[in-house]
Protein backbone atom coordinates (compact mmCIF):
# COMPACT_ATOMS: atom_id res chain seq x y z
CA UNK A 1 0.00 0.00 0.00
CA UNK A 2 1.43 3.38 -1.02
CA UNK A 3 1.14 5.83 1.91
CA UNK A 4 2.42 8.98 0.24
CA UNK A 5 4.70 10.48 -2.40
CA UNK A 6 8.00 12.33 -2.68
CA UNK A 7 8.60 15.95 -3.65
CA UNK A 8 12.36 16.39 -3.87
CA UNK A 9 13.85 15.41 -0.51
CA UNK A 10 10.47 15.52 1.22
CA UNK A 11 8.04 12.62 1.61
CA UNK A 12 4.41 13.69 1.82
CA UNK A 13 2.19 11.28 3.71
CA UNK A 14 -1.46 10.87 2.69
CA UNK A 15 -2.21 10.71 6.42
CA UNK A 16 -1.09 14.32 6.88
CA UNK A 17 -2.85 15.51 3.72
CA UNK A 18 -6.14 14.05 4.90
CA UNK A 19 -5.81 15.66 8.33
CA UNK A 20 -5.27 19.07 6.73
CA UNK A 21 -8.09 18.49 4.25
CA UNK A 22 -10.41 17.56 7.10
CA UNK A 23 -9.42 20.70 9.01
CA UNK A 24 -10.13 22.93 6.01
CA UNK A 25 -13.50 21.29 5.31
CA UNK A 26 -14.39 21.64 9.00
CA UNK A 27 -13.44 25.32 8.97
CA UNK A 28 -15.47 26.00 5.83
CA UNK A 29 -18.55 24.26 7.20
CA UNK A 30 -18.14 26.13 10.49
CA UNK A 31 -18.16 29.46 8.61
CA UNK A 32 -21.47 28.40 7.05
CA UNK A 33 -22.86 27.67 10.52
CA UNK A 34 -21.53 30.97 11.88
CA UNK A 35 -23.20 32.94 9.06
CA UNK A 36 -26.46 31.11 9.74
CA UNK A 37 -26.33 32.41 13.31
CA UNK A 38 -25.45 35.93 12.12
CA UNK A 39 -21.96 35.72 13.59
CA UNK A 40 -18.68 36.73 11.96
CA UNK A 41 -17.37 33.74 9.93
CA UNK A 42 -13.85 35.20 9.86
CA UNK A 43 -13.55 34.22 13.50
CA UNK A 44 -13.28 30.60 12.37
CA UNK A 45 -10.25 31.23 10.17
CA UNK A 46 -8.69 33.29 12.96
CA UNK A 47 -9.00 30.50 15.52
CA UNK A 48 -8.27 27.61 13.13
CA UNK A 49 -4.44 27.54 13.49
CA UNK A 50 -4.72 27.44 17.28
CA UNK A 51 -7.38 24.72 17.25
CA UNK A 52 -5.39 22.66 14.75
CA UNK A 53 -2.10 22.88 16.64
CA UNK A 54 -3.75 22.15 19.99
CA UNK A 55 -5.76 19.32 18.44
CA UNK A 56 -2.69 17.61 16.99
CA UNK A 57 -0.80 17.98 20.28
CA UNK A 58 -3.77 16.59 22.21
CA UNK A 59 -4.18 13.71 19.75
CA UNK A 60 -0.54 12.75 20.06
CA UNK A 61 -0.58 12.95 23.86
CA UNK A 62 -3.63 10.66 23.88
CA UNK A 63 -1.76 8.11 21.77
CA UNK A 64 1.34 8.36 23.95
CA UNK A 65 -0.69 7.79 27.11
CA UNK A 66 -2.78 4.99 25.57
CA UNK A 67 -0.71 3.11 22.98
CA UNK A 68 -2.41 0.06 21.42
CA UNK A 69 -1.61 -3.43 22.64
CA UNK A 70 0.50 -4.32 19.59
CA UNK A 71 2.88 -1.42 20.30
CA UNK A 72 3.04 -2.23 24.00
CA UNK A 73 4.02 -5.79 23.07
CA UNK A 74 6.95 -4.34 21.10
CA UNK A 75 8.03 -2.26 24.08
CA UNK A 76 6.61 0.99 22.68
CA UNK A 77 4.92 2.19 25.85
CA UNK A 78 4.31 5.56 27.44
CA UNK A 79 7.67 5.24 29.14
CA UNK A 80 9.35 4.53 25.82
CA UNK A 81 7.90 7.67 24.25
CA UNK A 82 8.98 9.78 27.22
CA UNK A 83 12.55 8.55 26.82
CA UNK A 84 12.53 8.84 23.00
CA UNK A 85 11.26 12.37 22.25
CA UNK A 86 11.89 12.13 18.50
CA UNK A 87 9.59 9.11 18.27
CA UNK A 88 7.06 10.92 20.45
CA UNK A 89 6.66 13.69 17.88
CA UNK A 90 6.73 11.45 14.78
CA UNK A 91 3.04 11.95 13.98
CA UNK A 92 3.62 11.24 10.27
CA UNK A 93 3.93 7.58 11.21
CA UNK A 94 0.39 7.58 12.59
CA UNK A 95 -0.71 7.44 16.18
CA UNK A 96 -3.21 10.23 16.79
CA UNK A 97 -6.13 9.74 19.17
CA UNK A 98 -9.33 11.53 18.20
CA UNK A 99 -10.51 12.04 21.82
CA UNK A 100 -7.23 13.81 22.55
CA UNK A 101 -7.64 15.97 19.45
CA UNK A 102 -11.10 17.06 20.57
CA UNK A 103 -9.88 17.81 24.11
CA UNK A 104 -6.91 19.79 22.82
CA UNK A 105 -9.11 21.72 20.42
CA UNK A 106 -11.61 22.52 23.18
CA UNK A 107 -8.84 23.87 25.41
CA UNK A 108 -7.66 26.15 22.60
CA UNK A 109 -11.24 27.18 21.85
CA UNK A 110 -11.85 28.06 25.50
CA UNK A 111 -8.74 30.23 25.64
CA UNK A 112 -9.73 31.97 22.40
CA UNK A 113 -13.36 32.70 23.28
CA UNK A 114 -12.40 33.74 26.82
CA UNK A 115 -9.91 36.24 25.45
CA UNK A 116 -12.47 37.63 22.98
CA UNK A 117 -15.40 37.48 25.44
CA UNK A 118 -17.53 35.13 23.34
CA UNK A 119 -19.90 32.33 24.33
CA UNK A 120 -18.07 29.00 24.54
CA UNK A 121 -21.14 26.77 24.09
CA UNK A 122 -22.30 28.71 21.02
CA UNK A 123 -18.99 28.21 19.25
CA UNK A 124 -18.85 24.56 20.28
CA UNK A 125 -22.20 24.09 18.52
CA UNK A 126 -20.97 25.95 15.45
CA UNK A 127 -17.89 23.76 15.18
CA UNK A 128 -19.54 20.39 15.95
CA UNK A 129 -20.80 19.42 12.44
CA UNK A 130 -17.52 20.36 10.79
CA UNK A 131 -15.51 18.61 13.50
CA UNK A 132 -17.20 15.26 12.99
CA UNK A 133 -16.95 15.63 9.21
CA UNK A 134 -13.20 16.25 9.61
CA UNK A 135 -13.02 13.02 11.62
CA UNK A 136 -14.74 11.19 8.76
CA UNK A 137 -12.14 12.47 6.29
CA UNK A 138 -9.19 11.89 8.60
CA UNK A 139 -10.14 8.26 9.17
CA UNK A 140 -9.10 7.51 5.59
CA UNK A 141 -5.55 8.16 6.71
CA UNK A 142 -5.87 4.88 8.63
CA UNK A 143 -6.60 3.16 5.33
CA UNK A 144 -3.33 4.33 3.77
CA UNK A 145 -1.41 3.51 6.96
CA UNK A 146 -3.13 0.11 7.14
CA UNK A 147 -4.23 0.59 10.73
CA UNK A 148 -7.50 0.65 12.66
CA UNK A 149 -8.88 -2.51 11.14
CA UNK A 150 -11.13 -5.02 12.80
CA UNK A 151 -11.55 -8.75 13.09
CA UNK A 152 -10.71 -11.09 10.19
CA UNK A 153 -13.53 -11.17 7.65
CA UNK A 154 -14.62 -12.68 4.36
CA UNK A 155 -17.20 -9.99 3.69
CA UNK A 156 -17.15 -8.50 0.16
CA UNK A 157 -15.96 -5.16 1.54
CA UNK A 158 -13.24 -6.63 3.77
CA UNK A 159 -9.87 -4.95 3.16
CA UNK A 160 -6.50 -6.50 2.44
CA UNK A 161 -3.76 -5.84 4.98
CA UNK A 162 -0.22 -6.50 3.82
CA UNK A 163 1.95 -8.83 5.94
CA UNK A 164 4.03 -5.98 7.37
CA UNK A 165 0.97 -4.44 9.04
CA UNK A 166 -0.68 -7.58 10.38
CA UNK A 167 -0.88 -8.07 14.10
CA UNK A 168 0.96 -10.89 15.90
CA UNK A 169 -1.05 -14.08 15.67
CA UNK A 170 -2.74 -12.97 12.44
CA UNK A 171 0.22 -13.27 10.07
CA UNK A 172 -1.59 -15.75 7.79
CA UNK A 173 -4.85 -13.84 7.58
CA UNK A 174 -5.09 -11.22 4.84
CA UNK A 175 -8.59 -9.67 4.96
CA UNK A 176 -10.19 -7.73 7.81
CA UNK A 177 -13.17 -5.61 8.81
CA UNK A 178 -12.57 -1.98 7.66
CA UNK A 179 -13.25 -0.22 10.97
CA UNK A 180 -11.96 3.08 9.60
CA UNK A 181 -14.66 2.90 6.91
CA UNK A 182 -17.43 2.09 9.39
CA UNK A 183 -16.43 5.00 11.59
CA UNK A 184 -16.08 7.33 8.61
CA UNK A 185 -19.62 6.50 7.43
CA UNK A 186 -20.95 6.87 10.99
CA UNK A 187 -19.31 10.29 11.27
CA UNK A 188 -20.72 11.49 7.95
CA UNK A 189 -24.19 10.43 9.12
CA UNK A 190 -23.56 12.26 12.40
CA UNK A 191 -22.58 15.46 10.56
CA UNK A 192 -25.69 15.31 8.37
CA UNK A 193 -27.89 14.73 11.43
CA UNK A 194 -26.36 17.69 13.29
CA UNK A 195 -26.87 20.01 10.31
CA UNK A 196 -30.48 18.86 9.98
CA UNK A 197 -31.13 19.12 13.71
CA UNK A 198 -29.66 22.61 13.91
CA UNK A 199 -32.04 23.83 11.24
CA UNK A 200 -35.18 21.80 11.94
CA UNK A 201 -35.21 22.39 15.71
CA UNK A 202 -33.35 25.68 16.00
CA UNK A 203 -35.96 27.11 18.37
CA UNK A 204 -35.86 24.07 20.65
CA UNK A 205 -32.08 23.71 20.90
CA UNK A 206 -30.12 25.45 23.63
CA UNK A 207 -26.47 26.43 23.66
CA UNK A 208 -24.30 23.33 23.87
CA UNK A 209 -26.97 20.93 22.63
CA UNK A 210 -25.51 20.28 19.19
CA UNK A 211 -22.10 19.50 20.65
CA UNK A 212 -23.74 17.22 23.21
CA UNK A 213 -25.55 15.35 20.42
CA UNK A 214 -22.22 15.06 18.57
CA UNK A 215 -20.58 13.50 21.64
CA UNK A 216 -23.56 11.21 22.28
CA UNK A 217 -23.69 9.88 18.71
CA UNK A 218 -19.95 9.64 18.16
CA UNK A 219 -19.34 8.06 21.56
CA UNK A 220 -22.09 5.48 21.05
CA UNK A 221 -20.78 4.50 17.61
CA UNK A 222 -17.18 4.30 18.75
CA UNK A 223 -18.22 2.21 21.77
CA UNK A 224 -19.90 -0.31 19.46
CA UNK A 225 -17.04 -0.44 16.95
CA UNK A 226 -14.49 -1.17 19.68
CA UNK A 227 -16.01 -4.66 19.96
CA UNK A 228 -14.63 -5.37 16.46
CA UNK A 229 -11.24 -3.81 16.97
CA UNK A 230 -8.24 -6.10 17.31
CA UNK A 231 -5.54 -3.70 18.45
CA UNK A 232 -6.98 -2.08 21.56
CA UNK A 233 -5.53 0.21 24.21
CA UNK A 234 -6.08 -1.72 27.41
CA UNK A 235 -5.42 -1.53 31.11
CA UNK A 236 -5.60 -5.11 32.30
CA UNK A 237 -8.62 -6.51 30.47
CA UNK A 238 -10.39 -3.15 30.13
CA UNK A 239 -10.64 -1.48 26.73
CA UNK A 240 -9.87 2.05 27.88
CA UNK A 241 -11.11 3.84 24.77
CA UNK A 242 -14.38 1.93 24.86
CA UNK A 243 -14.99 2.77 28.51
CA UNK A 244 -14.17 6.43 27.95
CA UNK A 245 -16.56 6.55 25.00
CA UNK A 246 -19.31 5.04 27.17
CA UNK A 247 -18.73 7.63 29.89
CA UNK A 248 -18.74 10.51 27.39
CA UNK A 249 -21.93 9.29 25.69
CA UNK A 250 -23.68 8.95 29.06
CA UNK A 251 -22.42 12.38 30.15
CA UNK A 252 -23.76 13.95 26.93
CA UNK A 253 -27.14 12.27 27.44
CA UNK A 254 -27.23 13.50 31.05
CA UNK A 255 -26.42 17.04 29.86
CA UNK A 256 -29.30 16.98 27.37
CA UNK A 257 -31.72 15.62 29.98
CA UNK A 258 -30.64 18.31 32.42
CA UNK A 259 -30.97 20.99 29.75
CA UNK A 260 -34.44 20.03 28.52
CA UNK A 261 -36.11 18.22 31.42
CA UNK A 262 -34.69 19.20 34.78
CA UNK A 263 -33.78 22.80 33.95
CA UNK A 264 -37.08 23.34 32.13
CA UNK A 265 -39.03 22.15 35.17
CA UNK A 266 -37.01 24.43 37.43
CA UNK A 267 -37.74 27.48 35.26
CA UNK A 268 -41.38 26.53 34.75
CA UNK A 269 -42.22 26.21 38.46
CA UNK A 270 -42.03 29.95 39.33
CA UNK A 271 -44.19 30.78 36.32
CA UNK A 272 -46.80 28.24 37.36
CA UNK A 273 -46.85 29.67 40.89
CA UNK A 274 -47.27 33.19 39.57
CA UNK A 275 -50.14 32.09 37.33
CA UNK A 276 -51.93 30.42 40.24
CA UNK A 277 -51.62 33.44 42.54
CA UNK A 278 -53.03 35.81 39.92
Q: What is the pLDDT of residues 62-87, one digit of tens each?
A: 999 988 888 888 888 889 898 888 88
Residue 186 confidence (pLDDT): 97
Q: What is the tens place of the pLDDT at every residue in 118-140? A: 999 999 999 999 999 999 999 99
By the 10 Å C-beta count (0-12 exposed, 13-18 middle, 19+ buried), 49 is classed as exposed
Residue 275 confidence (pLDDT): 43
**C-alpha closest to that of 33 among 129, 102, 118, 119:** 129
Instruction: With cut-offs at 50, 70 and 90, classify the pLDDT of residue 107.
Output: very high
Helix (H, G, I), strand (E, B) or coil at 166: coil
**C-alpha closest to that of 137 among 11, 24, 1, 2:** 24
| Average model confidence (pLDDT) across the chain | 90
Res. 277: pLDDT tops 50: no
80 vs 30, more confident: 30
Average pLDDT over residues 145-162: 92
State the Cα–Cα distance between residues 213 and 190, nearest whole angstrom: 9
Question: Do the Cβ atoms of 94 and 147 come closer than 8 Å?
Answer: yes
State the Cα–Cα distance between residues 139 and 177, nearest whole angstrom: 14
Give the rounded percent of residues in the chain with a pLDDT score beyond 90.
64
130 Cβ neighbours under 8 A, 6+ residues apart? 25, 26, 27, 28, 29, 30, 33, 191
85 Cβ neighbours under 8 A, 6+ residues apart? none
Res. 23: pLDDT tops 60: yes
Helices (H) and strands (E) counted in the chain, each on its own, are 12, 6
Res. 15: pLDDT tops 90: no
Average pLDDT over residues 196-218: 96
Packing angle, helices 120-138 and 42-65, rounded to 10? 60
Q: What is the tens place of the pLDDT at every residue in 180-194? A: 999 999 999 999 999
Res. 150: pLDDT tops 50: yes
Which has the minimum average pLDDT: 70-74, 89-93, 95-99, 200-204?
Answer: 89-93
Instruction: With cut-offs at 50, 70 and 90, classify the pLDDT of residue 231.
Output: confident
Residue length of the chain: 278
DSSP string, 93-123: G----HHHHHHHHHHHHHHHHHHTT--HHHH
**Greatest distance between any 2 Cα atoms in the chain:** 81
Residue 94 confidence (pLDDT): 66
By the 10 Å C-beta count (0-12 exposed, 13-18 middle, 19+ buried), 176 is classed as buried
Residue 271 confidence (pLDDT): 46
Residue 88 confidence (pLDDT): 87
**C-alpha closest to that of 174 among 139, 194, 200, 146:** 146
Amino acid sequence: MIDGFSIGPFYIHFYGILIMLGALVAAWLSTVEAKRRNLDPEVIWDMLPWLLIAGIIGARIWHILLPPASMVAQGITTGYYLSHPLDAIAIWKGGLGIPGAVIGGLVALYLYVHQHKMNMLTWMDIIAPGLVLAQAIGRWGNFFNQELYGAPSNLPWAIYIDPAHRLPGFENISRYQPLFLYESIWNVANAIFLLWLGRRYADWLKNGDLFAFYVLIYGSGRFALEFLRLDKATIGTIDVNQMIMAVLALAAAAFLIWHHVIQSKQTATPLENTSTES
